Amino acid sequence: MELTEINFLDVDETKEYDEIVGQVINKCFEEENLLNKKLYVNIVLTTAENIRNINREHRGIDKETDVLSFPMFEANEIENINPETEDVLGDVVISLEQIKKQAKEYGHTLERELAYMLVHSFYHLMGYDHMKEEDKKTMRAKEDIILEKLNITR
């Protein structure tokens, strides 16, 4: 079973994006022991304008952003998901325009910025957050493990 469904909304599909998304999400599923479940992540790669519209519609914030995550389960429900039932773990929407800007601003590659956004979003789908400092440290540690295992560094 594919672990991702990738949709390109008003942006060109490239093999590079497909490979990065597949590699990163596969590693996340492996690290979190989810390979035995019939779960997948729906990924939408899109424009700044589209993500702004989605952000306004779903969060009431009329502003561009880099990534939006829409989990389908509460954190405590994930381990109890029936392994025979195919389901979406959640939806992730990424603005390729915004991550290209951020990669340049932070001085790293587009691959690294896209990989980070994917890992970050995956952990939001898993119920992690970064509002409190302690939670932020936990989430960042998990993100770093994935990126290190993929040898995608700053």
| Tens digit of each residue's pLDDT (9 = 90 or more) over 6-65 | 999 999 999 999 999 999 999 999 999 999 999 999 999 999 999 999 999 999 999 999
Per the domain annotation, does 87 fall within a domain?
yes
What are the distances in angstroms from CA 141 to CA 70, 103, 107, 114?
21, 21, 21, 18
What are the distances in angstroms from CA 87 to CA 8, 36, 67, 81, 126?
21, 13, 22, 9, 14
Per the domain annotation, does 91 fall within a domain?
yes
Using 50, 70 and 90 to split pLDDT, how confident is the model at 152? very high
DSSP structural state of residue 67: E
Query: Which CATH number does the domain housing residue 71 bear?
Result: 3.40.390.30
More confident residue, 58 or 131: 58
Q: Identify the H or E element spanning 87.
A: strand 87-95
Per the domain annotation, does 108 fall within a domain?
yes
pTM of the prediction?
0.94
When divided into structural domains, the chain yields a total of 1
- Taking each helix axis from N to C end, the angle separating 133-149 and 15-31, rounded to the nearest 10 degrees, works out to 120
Return d(Cα 136, Cα 123) in angstroms, integer.
Answer: 11
User: Domain limits at 99?
Assistant: 4-149
Per the domain annotation, does 42 fall within a domain?
yes
- R_g over Cα of the chain: 15
Per the domain annotation, does 154 fall within a domain?
no
Q: Are 20 and 115 in contact (CB under 8 A)?
A: yes
Q: Are 121 and 73 in contact (CB under 8 A)?
A: no
Per the domain annotation, does 16 fall within a domain?
yes
